[in-house]
Every structure is written in structure tokens, then in C-alpha cells.
């Protein structure tokens, strides 16, 4: 038995539970109290980074710590200078990547650290190491989310099915391993498994809670409606991909429960809908978040940004200070009626890497966000889709639901064409059927952007 591993996993769970309760209590305090705690933790993080990271020692200015005056960190720079960023001199990028590739089960590096990679939709690899306090904050996020959704310990134990990435070094897999301490029964299901195996595993396990990527959820909804999948869910959530209102309605019709939208990044920024389902609360009490435009200037609430800058306050082994994350958010200008002071994302439009620039009919260019292709998911015969930019227009790949009849291509093409026309874009649209779509780590990239030519 791996006694040391299990002890540390239990310790992470216990620390995460304690922190989750503390954060939930603090989330309803006056906003001024939240800002004071954020500033105190930011100053402690910057002080630690200056003292122990060669990269930050040369990068961070002396004097008072003002967040928006600190330099922005780009992911390519993080990877290039990785050995100097981390504060443990034993950690080296190439050795960590080799160690990750050799893992076949959940393990802790040096008996202490959790290590994971992410490629994201952009294909740029990221490497992240969490120390014990940093990972306790991730456990707190997960426990906080399940509590908001309504999944709390009880007898008989809750049955939680988690459909996600197959890799043992993915954030979702390691998070699931942390939660499997006996409070709930947890079944991890690789989303890359054939649908028949997913259905068989879920029918045998009989979960009352399901977390799944939105694109994979549509396939399960089709199986549920056909009677091959027989789930009786009390709650469900989706994560890691864009959840449109149309897709949420489709899942609620199939499973009888409204899905909670969960936001999670390997960089350490998490968020979730509360019981009001009116925007995703970002857990800014653990990770500071700045919504900025292309030039790095703060964007006003109610206006879409170009990317987010994330500062993870709890992880000391790999300090993350103003790391650029290419998600397109619109932050809500008003506090949530639920009483929590955490900022809300009124809209999550996708990743800026997936934003298209199409020629405009009146000249110039038109920006098209991934969320604007929700018109495709409204068609009940579409199981999943992908929009690819090509010279002169768009190619929409659709995987039809079972029994989809003729006319699907014409309907989807007309819907996308009208949406582009409303935006003022000059783009030819062609639609093609596919049996399946390529995925990266189990996730579907809804938009594949290509640079404009000419």
C-alpha cells in the first residue's frame, strides 16, 4: 500500500474542507473585507516570489505591491523560464515533463507535489506544479462547487460520476482522486471511451450526480432519450467547454435537472453558478482575476474583455502572478442577489484563441465570438459541431443525432449564414456531416481559427 500517498491525499481533503467552509463564510462579508484579504495575500505571495524565485527576483519591482503595476506573464515565457520560476531548485521543466509522461496512476512528485500539464485549445503546452497549500485550495474549490450544486455528504453515500480527460495528470483526474476519500462514491469515466462503454458504466453505477463536458453531455442526452441510458439524476454540472443556454435547456429536457455551469483552469482560477443560475461566480478569494483588453487595460463591467490575468494566491512552489489566460469574459456589473460578494461572469464567450476575424461587407473586419455559433446547437438533430475558418468563409462540421433526416446541412448553413449576416460579416458557409470530431484530451474545440489571407 502507498501509505504516504493516502495520508497526504486525506490531508489535502481535510485542509480543503476546512478552507472551503472558511471561504464560504467570508464570501458574504462586506466587499472591503474581501479586498483587504486579497491585498494581504498578494503582498505575501510577491514577497515569497522575490525571495525564492530567480525569475521573479529580477522581474518584480521593489516597494508597495500594486497588482495592475506588476508585469504580465505570458505562457510561452512561463515555459521558457520555468526552471527559474519555480521556488524548489529540484524542479526542472524537462524532467517534470518526462515524469508526467511515465505516470499511469495518481502520484505525488517527491511525495509532496501534484504535477499536471495542459495544452488548452490553443495547443500551447502549460506545466503546473502545486504544493500542499496550493492543492488544498484546489480541493476547496471542488468541495465548494459540489456544495453549491447540492452534493453534500449523507447516508447512503452520494454516487458521483465524473466524465473527463483520460490522462492521470489532468487537473480533473487529480481532483477526482482527491475527492475519493469515502465521503462520496466517485466513478471516473474517461470521456474518450466508446459511448457504449460509457453507458454501461453509468447504468451499472447509477449516479445521482453527473459532471461532464457539454459536448459529451449531448451524446449522453441522446442515449438517455433513446432509453439506452437510464439515469435518475438529482444534480448535474458541466465544465471545461462552452455551455450555451440552448444546450443547457437541451440537457435539462433529457435529464430532468438544470445543469450548473462550472469554470475551471489548471492555472488555478475556478468558478461556478450559484443556486440562481445567473452567471458564474469566480473564486477571486483564492485567485485574483483581471478582465483586460488586447493592450492589457482593465475592461469595465458589462463589456467583454480579450483575456484574463490570473494571480493564484495560495501556491508558493510555482508562483502565478498575472498570468494571461485567453478566455473571453464579460463581468456582471451588479452583485448577485444570492448575497455572495464574488464577482460574476455574466458571459463566458470562449477563448480568444478561438475568436474569428471575418471580412466585413462594408470593409474591414468583423469579430466573431465562439458563443455566436450557438445557433448550431439549437438544432435538435445536431449532436456536436465544429466551425473551421477557411479561405473565403466557414466550414461547419456537424455530427448528427441518430435518426437525423435530410435537410440538416441546409438548416445549419442557413442559421449560421443569418448569424453572420446580422454581424455584418461577408462569409460563405458550407456544412459537412461527420461521424465524429477530433478532440484534444477529450475536449472538443468548437472553433478552429485560421488567419485571414490577402
8-state DSSP, 91: -
- Alpha carbon separation from 293 to 70, 303, 304, 320, 371 (Å, rounded): 16, 10, 8, 20, 18
Residues 243 and 232 both lie in one domain: yes
Give, for 172, the enclosing helix (H) or strand (E).
helix 171-179
Q: How many CB atoms lie within 10 A of CB 382?
A: 21
Q: How far is CA 294 from CA 255, 299, 325, 385, in A?
A: 40, 10, 12, 28
Q: Which domain holds residue 365?
A: 355-448
454 found inside a domain: no
Q: Are residues 205 and 164 in the same domain?
A: yes
Q: Is residue 399 in some structural domain?
A: yes
How do the pLDDT tens digits run along the chain, 454 residues long? 577 888 888 888 899 999 999 999 999 999 999 999 999 999 999 999 999 999 999 999 999 999 999 999 999 899 999 999 999 999 999 999 889 888 888 889 998 999 998 754 444 568 999 999 999 999 999 999 999 998 888 888 899 999 887 777 788 788 888 877 777 888 989 888 888 999 999 999 999 999 998 888 888 998 999 999 999 999 999 988 888 888 899 999 999 999 999 999 999 999 999 999 999 999 999 999 999 998 999 999 999 898 999 999 999 999 999 999 988 889 999 999 999 999 999 878 766 566 678 888 888 887 776 767 878 877 878 888 888 888 878 999 988 887 788 889 999 889 888 988 888 888 899 999 998 888 766 677 778 876 444 3
Same domain, 307 and 233: yes
Asked whether residue 66 falls in the same domain as residue 51, the answer is: yes
**181's grid cell:** 476519500
- In a shared domain, residues 359 and 325: no
Amino acid at each position: 500500500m502507498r501509505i504516504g500517498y493516502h495520508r497526504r491525499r486525506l490531508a489535502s481533503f481535510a485542509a480543503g474542507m476546512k478552507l472551503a467552509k472558511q471561504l464560504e463564510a467570508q464570501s458574504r462579508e462586506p466587499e472591503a473585507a474581501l479586498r483587504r484579504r486579497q491585498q494581504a495575500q498578494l503582498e505575501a505571495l510577491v514577497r515569497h516570489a522575490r525571495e525564492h524565485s530567480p525569475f521573479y527576483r529580477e522581474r518584480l519591482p521593489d516597494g508597495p505591491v500594486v497588482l495592475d503595476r506588476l508585469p504580465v506573464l505570458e505562457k510561452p515565457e512561463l515555459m521558457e523560464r520555468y526552471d527559474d520560476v519555480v521556488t524548489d531548485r529540484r524542479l526542472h521543466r524537462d524532467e517534470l515533463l518526462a515524469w508526467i509522461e511515465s505516470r499511469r496512476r495518481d502520484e505525488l512528485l517527491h511525495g509532496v507535489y501534484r504535477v499536471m500539464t495542459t495544452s488548452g485549445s490553443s495547443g500551447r503546452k502549460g506545466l503546473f506544479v502545486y504544493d500542499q497549500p496550493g492543492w488544498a485550495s484546489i480541493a476547496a474549490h471542488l468541495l465548494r462547487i459540489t456544495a453549491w450544486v447540492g452534493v453534500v455528504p449523507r447516508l447512503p453515500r452520494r454516487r458521483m460520476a465524473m466524465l473527463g480527460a483520460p490522462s492521470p495528470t489532468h487537473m480533473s483526474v487529480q481532483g477526482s482522486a482527491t475527492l475519493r476519500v469515502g465521503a462520496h462514491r466517485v466513478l471516473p469515466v474517461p470521456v474518450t471511451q466508446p459511448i457504449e462503454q460509457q453507458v454501461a458504466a453509468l447504468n451499472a453505477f447509477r449516479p445521482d450526480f453527473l459532471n461532464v463536458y457539454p459536448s459529451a453531455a449531448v451524446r449522453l442526452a441522446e442515449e438517455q432519450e433513446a432509453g439506452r441510458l437510464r439515469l435518475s439524476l438529482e444534480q448535474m454540472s458541466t465544465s471545461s467547454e462552452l455551455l450555451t443556454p440552448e444546450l443547457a435547456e437541451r440537457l435539462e429536457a433529457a435529464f430532468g435537472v438544470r445543469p450548473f455551469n462550472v469554470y475551471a483552469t489548471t492555472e488555478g482560477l475556478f468558478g461556478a453558478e450559484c443556486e440562481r443560475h445567473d452567471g458564474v461566480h469566480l473564486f477571486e478569494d483564492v485567485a485574483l482575476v483581471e478582465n483586460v483588453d488586447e493592450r492589457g487595460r482593465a475592461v469595465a463591467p458589462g463589456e467583454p474583455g480579450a483575456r484574463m490575468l490570473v494571480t493564484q494566491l495560495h501556491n508558493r512552489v510555482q508562483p502565478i502572478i498575472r498570468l494571461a489566460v485567453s478566455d473571453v469574459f464579460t463581468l456582471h456589473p451588479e452583485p448577485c442577489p444570492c448575497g455572495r460578494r464574488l464577482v460574476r461572469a455574466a458571459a463566458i464567450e470562449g477563448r480568444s484563441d478561438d475568436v474569428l476575424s471575418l471580412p466585413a461587407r462594408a470593409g474591414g473586419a468583423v469579430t466573431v465570438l465562439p458563443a455566436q455559433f450557438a445557433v448550431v446547437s439549437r438544432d435538435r438533430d445536431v449532436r456536436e459541431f465544429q466551425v473551421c475558418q477557411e479561405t473565403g468563409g466557414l466550414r461547419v462540421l456537424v455530427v448528427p443525432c441518430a435518426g437525423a433526416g435530410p435537410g440538416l446541412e441546409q438548416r445549419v448553413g442557413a442559421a449560421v449564414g443569418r448569424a453572420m449576416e446580422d454581424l455584418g460579416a461577408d462569409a460563405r458557409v458550407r456544412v459537412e456531416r461527420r461521424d465524429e470530431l477530433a478532440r484534444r484530451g477529450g475536449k472538443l474545440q468548437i472553433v478552429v481559427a485560421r488567419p485571414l489571407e490577402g
